[in-house]
C-alpha cells in the first residue's frame, strides 16, 4: 500500500520550487529601465545635466517615453549626445519640460541626453492667458523630476535631493507583485521544510540492536502463524541470537526472561532442524517458538527504548531545497534593489 503521507511534503516542496522558478524567470525576462542623472559644471547662469536611461533588463522595452521636468527652470539648450536606438525630442509647449521618445530600447541599450537649464523671469498673465516672461527674475535652484515609461511598465523616477514638494516625492514601499509572491513562496517553502525536519527529528526510533530483535520476532511470529510446519531457518538468526540480553535490556529482569525464553526456543529449533526432525515434532517446536515470540512482543514495553535519531537523508532533502530557495530569493532582492545587498 502506498504511503501518501511520505509523498505529500515532496509534492508540496516541488510545486513551490517550480512556482518560484517560473515566477522568477518570467520576471527576469522583462525590460528594466534605469535613470541616472549627473550634474555637470555650470556654464555661467546655466546648470547642466547629463541624463542616462539604460535598459538593464533582458527584454526589449517598446514605446519608450522619457519626461524631464525642471521645476522653476527654463530649458536653454538640449541635445541627445548618444543613443543606441532612434530617439528624438518631441515638441513641448512647456519651457521647463523636455520629452524624448524612442520606438524601442534593446537590452543594454542607452539614451544619453544633455540639458542646460537657467532661471527665468516670472510669467505675466492677462486673465487666464499667458502673455510673456517679463516679470521678476527667478534663479534656477537645480530642482528636477525625471521619469521614463514604456509599454511593459515604468522606471523608478529620479528626483533632485533639494526637491521637497510632496507632489514630487516618489512612492515608498511599492514592490512588484511577483517579488512579493516569490518572497512569500520562498518563506513558505523554508517554513514547511523546517516544520517537517523538526517533526522527523523528534520521531523516536528503536536503537538498531533492539530494532533487530523486535523486527525478527515479528517475522518469526508471522511465518509461524501462517505455517506451523515451516521448516526453514529464520533469516539473520545467528546474528541476533548472539545479543547479550543484559546489554539490550539494561538488566531489566522481566525483559531478559522474555528474550532468553524466545532465544532458547529458537536455538532448540535450529539445532533440531540441522539434525533432521519429523514434521510432527517440528510442529511442536514451532508452536513453542510462536508462543515465546508472542510473549516477548507483548510482554516487553518497546516504547521505552525509543529515542531521538537524526535522519540525515531527510535533512539533506529538506535543507538543500531550502538553501536554494533562500539563494534564489536573495538573487531577486539583488536584482530589484542592487544597493540593498
Are 156 and 248 part of one and the same domain?
A: no
Q: What is the pLDDT of residue 311?
A: 53
Separation between Cα atoms, residue 146 and residue 160, nearest integer Å:
9
Range of weakest confidence among 97-106, 116-125, 148-157, 253-262: 116-125
Q: What is the mean pLDDT of residues 99-127?
A: 83
Residue 332: closest CA among 21, 41, 50, 47: 21
Are 79 and 129 part of one and the same domain?
A: yes
Separation between Cα atoms, residue 190 and residue 324, nearest integer Å:
10
Are 256 and 126 part of one and the same domain?
A: no
Tell which wins on pLDDT, 238 or 85. Answer: 85
Separation between Cα atoms, residue 125 and residue 135, nearest integer Å:
10
Q: What is the pLDDT of residue 185?
A: 64
Q: What is the mean pLDDT of residues 111-140?
A: 70
Q: What is the mean pLDDT of residues 10-15?
A: 60
Q: What is the pLDDT of residue 341?
A: 45
Are 52 and 134 part of one and the same domain?
A: yes
* SS3 assignment, position 337: coil
In sequence order, what are the residues at sequence separation of 6 or more whose Cβ sits closer than 8 angstroms to the Cβ of residue 219?
234, 235
Q: What is the pLDDT of residue 230?
A: 83
Tell which wins on pLDDT, 27 or 125. Answer: 27
Tell whether 2 is covered by a domain: no
Q: How many domains does the chain have?
A: 2
Tell whether 1 is covered by a domain: no
Are 212 and 130 part of one and the same domain?
A: no
Tell whether 188 is covered by a domain: no
Are 170 and 238 part of one and the same domain?
A: no
pLDDT digits (tens, 9 = 90+) for 215-271: 888 888 888 888 888 888 777 666 666 777 777 777 678 888 888 888 888 888 887
Q: What is the pLDDT of residue 62?
A: 93
CB 48 within 8 A of CB 41: yes
Residue 195: closest CA among 8, 3, 21, 4: 8
Share the mean pLDDT of the chain: 76
Are 115 and 231 part of one and the same domain?
A: no
Are 167 and 209 part of one and the same domain?
A: no
Report in angstroms the alpha-carbon separations of 106 from 53, 111, 198, 314. 12, 11, 49, 46
CB 248 within 8 A of CB 304: no
CB 245 within 8 A of CB 207: no
Are 257 and 297 part of one and the same domain?
A: yes
Tell whether 330 is covered by a domain: no
Q: What is the pLDDT of residue 82?
A: 93
Are 70 and 130 part of one and the same domain?
A: yes
Tell whether 313 is covered by a domain: no
Q: What is the mean pLDDT of residues 83-87?
A: 92
Tell which wins on pLDDT, 221 or 277. Answer: 221
pLDDT digits (tens, 9 = 90+) for 177-192: 556 566 666 676 677 6
pLDDT digits (tens, 9 = 90+) for 13-33: 666 666 666 666 666 678 889
pLDDT digits (tens, 9 = 90+) for 132-157: 555 667 778 888 999 999 988 888 88
Q: What is the CATH number of the domain that holds 116?
A: 2.60.40.290
Look at residues 174, 196, 226 and tell me which one is the last residue of a structural domain. Answer: 174
Q: What is the pLDDT of residue 172?
A: 44
Percent of the chain with pLDDT strictly greater than 70: 61
Are 170 and 35 part of one and the same domain?
A: yes
Residue 336: closest CA among 185, 179, 187: 179
Are 208 and 160 part of one and the same domain?
A: no
Q: What is the pLDDT of residue 34?
A: 92
Tell whether 269 is covered by a domain: yes
pLDDT digits (tens, 9 = 90+) for 285-313: 888 888 888 988 888 887 777 765 555 55
pLDDT digits (tens, 9 = 90+) for 189-202: 677 667 666 666 65
With a cut of 90, say whether residue 159 has pLDDT above it: no
With a cut of 50, say whether residue 1 has pLDDT above it: no
Give the domain extent around 276: 204-308
Q: Read off the pLDDT band of 98 (50, 70, 90).
A: very high
Tell whether 253 is covered by a domain: yes
Tell whether 9 is covered by a domain: no
With a cut of 60, say whether residue 6 has pLDDT above it: no
Amino acid at each position: 500500500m502506498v504511503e501518501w503521507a511520505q509523498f505529500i511534503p515532496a509534492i508540496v516542496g516541488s510545486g513551490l520550487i517550480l512556482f518560484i522558478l517560473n515566477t522568477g524567470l518570467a520576471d527576469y525576462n522583462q525590460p528594466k529601465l534605469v535613470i541616472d542623472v549627473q550634474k555637470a559644471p555650470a556654464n555661467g547662469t546655466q546648470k547642466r545635466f547629463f541624463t542616462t536611461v539604460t535598459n538593464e533588463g533582458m527584454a526589449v522595452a517598446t514605446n519608450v517615453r522619457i519626461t524631464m521636468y525642471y521645476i522653476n527652470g527654463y530649458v536653454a539648450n538640449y541635445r541627445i549626445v548618444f543613443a543606441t536606438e532612434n530617439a528624438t525630442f518631441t515638441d513641448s509647449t512647456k519651457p521647463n519640460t523636455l520629452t524624448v521618445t524612442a520606438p524601442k530600447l534593446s537590452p543594454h541599450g542607452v539614451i544619453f541626453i544633455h540639458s542646460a537649464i537657467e532661471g527665468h523671469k516670472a510669467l505675466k498673465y492677462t486673465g487666464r492667458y499667458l502673455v510673456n516672461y517679463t516679470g521678476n527674475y527667478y534663479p534656477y535652484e537645480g530642482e528636477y523630476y525625471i521619469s521614463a515609461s514604456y509599454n511593459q511598465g515604468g522606471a523608478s523616477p529620479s528626483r533632485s535631493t533639494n526637491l521637497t514638494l510632496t507632489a514630487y516625492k516618489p512612492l515608498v514601499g511599492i514592490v512588484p507583485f511577483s517579488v512579493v509572491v516569490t518572497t512569500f513562496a520562498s518563506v513558505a517553502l523554508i517554513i514547511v521544510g523546517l516544520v517537517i525536519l523538526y517533526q522527523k527529528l523528534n520521531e523516536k526510533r528503536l536503537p538498531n540492536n533492539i530494532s533487530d530483535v523486535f523486527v525478527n520476532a515479528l517475522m518469526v511470529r508471522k511465518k509461524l502463524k501462517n505455517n506451523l510446519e515451516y521448516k526453514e531457518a529464520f533469516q539473520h538468526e545467528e546474528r541476533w541470537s548472539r545479543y547479550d540480553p543484559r546489554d539490550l535490556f539494561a538488566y531489566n529482569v522481566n525483559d531478559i526472561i522474555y528474550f532468553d525464553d524466545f532465544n532458547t526456543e529458537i536455538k532448540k529449533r535450529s539445532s533440531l532442524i540441522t539434525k533432521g526432525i519429523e514434521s510432527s515434532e517440528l510442529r511442536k517446536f514451532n508452536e513453542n517458538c510462536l508462543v515465546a515470540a508472542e510473549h516477548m512482543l507483548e510482554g516487553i514495553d518497546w516504547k521505552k527504548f525509543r529515542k531521538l535519531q537524526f535522519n540525515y537523508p531527510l535533512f539533506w532533502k529538506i535543507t538543500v531545497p531550502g538553501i536554494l530557495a533562500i539563494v534564489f530569493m536573495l538573487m531577486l532582492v539583488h536584482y530589484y534593489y542592487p544597493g540593498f545587498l
